């Protein structure tokens, strides 16, 4: 059986039983015993056994050979030998412990949409879906016609090369001065100051010439008669 057909049958059989984290690696450059290796996880012993049985039955129906199966008694790690391809069905803890991807995972095989070619879902996906007329991406692009450029006469070219005359700078408009009335509190304070009585001013000191002359009275001692 062709190796591509075999790996497609194996992946379809694993997906039918909802196998988790399915990976396929190309091992031609590593060993001559087999060309492909597949690793898949099963959440329980029952699921790992069901995955192995699904691979065995699907490969036999497709005309392939099943060389042997190991580990069905415990269900923790079931190995299905298909000759050109080895399938490892492991529980998550066992898979994380042995890490087969690090040993055989140099060349992973891209499964993508091709892994479901033999399923009815893939056939339905292959049928072209009708395109919506409301989407711009589905509408046909309008035909673009080439535009021929005509050469302009020499006069037009000269006019195009001459720089345009500069416009005079616009003068700034001067606005009117608007007087703003003072606030009411300020006018009230000014009126109150005006209502106060005028302050008393001290009289200026008279000059020295205008002052009256001081009369000096000299006292004389009386002579006592002897």
Asked if residues 27 and 105 have their Cβ atoms less than 8 Å apart, the reply is no
Position 36 in a domain: yes
Confidence of residue 21 (pLDDT cuts 50, 70, 90): very high
Query: Is 140 a member of any domain?
Result: no
Residue 158 lies in a domain: no
Length of the chain: 226
Q: Would residue 100 count as lying in a domain? A: yes
CATH at residue 50: 3.30.460.10
Torsion angles phi and psi, residue 21, rounded to 5 = 55, 60
Alpha carbon distance 185, 182 (integer Å): 8
Total-model pTM: 0.52
The answer to whether residue 162 sits within a structural domain is no
Tokens 């190995």 belong to 79
On whether residue 35 sits in a domain, the answer given is yes
164 domain-assigned: no
Number of domains the chain contains: 1
Query: Where residue 111 falls among pLDDT bands split at 50, 70, 90?
Result: confident
78 in a structural domain: yes
**pLDDT of 152 strictly over 60:** no
Range of the domain at 83: 3-110
According to DSSP, the residues that pair with 39 across neighbouring strands are 23, 88
Helix axes 45-61, 3-16, angle to 10 degrees: 140
Torsion of CA 8, 13, 15, 21, to 10 degrees: -70
């Amino acid at each position: 059986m062709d190796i591509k057909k075999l790996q497609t049958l194996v992946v379809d059989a694993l997906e039918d039983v909802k196998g988790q984290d399915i990976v396929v690696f190309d091992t031609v450059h590593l060993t001559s015993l087999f060309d492909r290796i597949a690793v898949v996880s099963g959440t329980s012993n029952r699921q790992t056994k069901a995955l192995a049985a699904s691979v065995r039955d699907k490969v036999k129906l497709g005309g392939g050979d099943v060389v042997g199966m190991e580990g069905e008694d415990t269900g923790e790690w079931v190995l299905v030998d298909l000759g050109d391809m080895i399938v490892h069905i492991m529980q998550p803890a066992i898979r994380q412990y042995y890490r087969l991807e690090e040993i055989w995972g140099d060349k992973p095989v891209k499964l993508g949409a091709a892994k479901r070619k033999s399923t009815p879902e893939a056939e339905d996906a292959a049928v072209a879906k009708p395109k919506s007329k409301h989407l711009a991406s589905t509408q046909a692009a309008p035909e673009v016609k080439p535009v021929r450029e005509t050469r302009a006469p020499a006069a037009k070219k000269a006019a195009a090369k001459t720089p345009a005359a500069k416009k005079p700078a616009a003068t700034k408009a001067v606005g009117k001065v608007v007087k703003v009335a003072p606030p009411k509190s300020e006018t009230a304070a000014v009126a109150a100051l005006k209502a106060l009585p005028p302050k008393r001013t001290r009289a200026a000191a008279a000059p020295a010439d205008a002052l009256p002359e001081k009369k000096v009275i000299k006292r004389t001692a009386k002579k006592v008669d002897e």
